[in-house]
Structure 1
Amino acid sequence: MRMTEENKRAQTRRIAEGAAAAFREGGFDAVNIDAVMARSGLTRGAFYAHFATKQALLETVARDCHPLLDKLRAREGEPMAGARRILRDYLDPAHLDAVRTGCTFAALSGDIARAPADVRSAFEAAWSEVLGELARGTDRAPEDFAAPLALATGAIGAAAALESGAAQATLLNGAWDALDAMLPPAT
C-alpha cells in the first residue's frame, strides 16, 4: 500500500520529534539512527524513506522542532505579558530538567555550532522566528530580543552544567532578573 503525502509528512514529523527529544537528551553524536527510530516507534528502514542522512535529520530538527517557539506562537492575550510568563517559566529552577531536555536552542546549540552550514542556517531561521514572536505586539525590532533570548537559552545550558541545585537556582533567578530588565513591560 502506498503512503499518502499527508501520512508521509506526519511520519517525517514523528521521526523529527523523536530525534529532537533524543538529541536534546543525549547529544547528536551519542544518538544513533536506531535510537531515533525506536524513539519514534518506527523501524530503521523507514528512516531512509524520509531522510538521506542523520545530518539531514538534524537540519530538520534545527529548523522545525522548537517547543519554545511553539509556546510563543500559541500564547493568547497581550503578547508581551504572555512572552514574559513563558520566559519566567522557562527560567524557573523547578523546570530546569524539563527545559534542558525540551529546548532545542538550549540543548543543541553546541552540536549545531559544529554542524555544516545548512544545519546552522536552519537553526538561524528558527532563531529568527523566535525573535519575531518575542517582538510581536511590541514597538521593538526582532533583533532587540537577540540578547534576551541568548541570555535565557545560555542560562539553561550553564545551569544544567552546575551540580548544586542552589547554584542552579541562583543562576536561573539571576538570569530572570537580568532578562526582566531587558524586556518591554507587559501592558
Structure 2
Amino acid sequence: MVTIETYEKKAHILELLKIVQINRGSGYKSVKELEETLRRHTVFVARYDGEIAGFVAFRMCPLEEAILVEEAVNHFEKRLTFAVGGHLVGSITLLVVDREFQKKKVGSKLIQKVVEKLNGKVSAVFLQSWNNPTNPAVEPLMKSQGFEPWKVYENFYRKHKVGIASQCPVCPGICQCSMTVFYRLLGNKCDE
C-alpha cells in the first residue's frame, strides 16, 4: 500500500539522501546539499507498507527555469496560456523511487500528488529526465500519468555543462547521457 505524506526535514532527510545516492547515482553527497535543493521546493514522500520508498520535489517557477533549453522555452512559451501574474509552470526537479519499490505504483502516486497540487495554478508541468542507461526508463511512468515526451537531447549534460556532467556514475569522464523534456498540460490546451 502506497501512502503520500508531506516532507518533514527532521523525519525524512537522511532516508531521502540514502535513496538519492543509491538510486540516482550522482549529485548529492551530503545532507546539506540535498537540503539546499529541497528547501526551495514542495516535497512529498512516498511510503510503501510503512517504509520510505521515494520522493518528489517540485516547484512553480518561470518557464525558463523549468526547462534548461532555449529552444524548448521558445516552443512552449508561444503555445501555453499562462496564469495572471506571470509565466509560471510546474517543474519537477527530483523524482526518485528506490529500486526495491519500483513497479509498485510509488512513482505514479507521487506524480498524481504533484498534478493534484498544481492543477488550477499553472498551465503545464515539466520534467527534464536524465536518461541514465543503468536506471529503468522514466518514459513509461510519465506517459501513464498523461505526460508527453517533447524532445530528446543527446549528450545534453556534456554539451550544456549541467550539474551532473562531471559526476555521472555511468559515463567515464564527462557525462554522455541524454535528457528528455516531458510535459503535461493542465486545464489549458496547447495550440500545436
* Band of TM-score, shorter chain: 0.3 to 0.5
> Which protein has the bigger helix share?
1
Q: Higher strand proportion, which one?
A: 2
Name the larger-Rg structure.
Answer: 1
TM-score by length of 1: 0.36
Return the structure number with greater relative CO, CA threshold 8 A, min gap 6.
1
TM-score, normalised by the number of residues in structure 2: 0.35
